[in-house]
């Protein structure tokens, strides 16, 4: 089974560290970090491809909503962009996530994230790769 290539987009170092650690515990080592939405879009524009993206909503300068809009535009140009998108945010923002679901996100993850939950997403992404 091919291990997924993962992008973790979050301005919080501790959240990026936690998600990455949980993925490493699942033997998923191909994890790229982006501390901002701008950095994430730049990486994707440079040609990096991912199978699974964890995207925080609340980030300075370019929030998760703006990242999603940019990703949808890039998908129109580059048909190779095909990844599972997991929205990561605090509990109070869940109501707002309905906008994301309608625009193409696949799942939601509430902070504080549990390692077992990361396992579910990584397994789903791995199954998509078979």
φ/ψ of residue 103, rounded to 5: -100, 10
**Residue 104 placed within a domain:** yes
**Residue 20 placed within a domain:** yes
Predicted pLDDT at 128: 37
pLDDT band at 117 (very low <50, low <70, confident <90, very high): low
Residue 123 has pLDDT above 60, yes or no: no
Q: What share of the chain is helix, strand, coil (3-state, %, to 5)?
A: 50, 20, 30
Q: Token match 């370019």: residue?
A: 62
Percent of the residues in the chain that have a pLDDT greater than 70, as a whole number: 68
Q: What pTM was estimated for this model as a whole?
A: 0.75
Mean pLDDT, residues 35-46 taken together: 94
* Total domains in the fold of the chain: 1
Using DSSP's 3-state secondary structure scheme, residue 24 falls into helix
**Residue 85 placed within a domain:** yes
Query: Where is pLDDT greater, at 25 or 125?
Result: 25
DSSP state of 40: H
Distance CA 70, CA 20 (A): 24
Residue 109 structure tokens: 């993850």
Query: Where is pLDDT greater, at 130 or 46?
Result: 46
Average pLDDT, the chain: 76
Question: What b/e sequence results for 72-95 when a residue is b if at least 16 CB atoms lie within 10 Å of its CB, and e otherwise?
Answer: eeeeeeeeeeebbbbbbbeeebee
pLDDT digits (tens, 9 = 90+) for 47-63: 898 988 998 888 889 88
Query: Where is pLDDT greater, at 87 or 114?
Result: 87
Q: Cβ distance 71 to 81 under 8 Å?
A: yes
Closest to 25 in 3D by CA, of 118, 129, 126, 130: 118
**Residue 1 placed within a domain:** no
**Residue 41 placed within a domain:** yes
pLDDT digits (tens, 9 = 90+) for 79-107: 777 788 888 776 555 555 555 555 555 55
**Residue 53 placed within a domain:** yes
**Residue 47 placed within a domain:** yes
**Residue 57, domain CATH:** 3.40.50.2300
Closest to 86 in 3D by CA, of 55, 118, 43, 119: 55
Q: For residue 48, give its domain range.
A: 6-129
């Amino acid at each position: 089974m091919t291990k997924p290539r993962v992008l973790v987009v979050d301005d919080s170092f501790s959240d990026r560290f936690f998600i990455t650690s949980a993925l490493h515990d699942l033997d998923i080592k191909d994890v790229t970090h982006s501390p901002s939405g701008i950095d994430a879009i730049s990486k994707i524009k440079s040609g990096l491809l991912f199978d699974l993206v964890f995207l925080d909503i609340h980030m300075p300068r370019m929030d998760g909503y703006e990242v999603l809009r940019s990703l949808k535009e890039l998908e129109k140009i580059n048909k190779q962009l095909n990844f599972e998108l997991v929205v990561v945010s605090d509990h109070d923002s869940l109501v707002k996530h309905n906008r994301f679901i309608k625009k193409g996100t696949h799942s939601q993850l509430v902070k504080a994230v549990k390692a077992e939950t990361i396992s579910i997403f990584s397994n789903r992404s791995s199954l998509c790769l078979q």
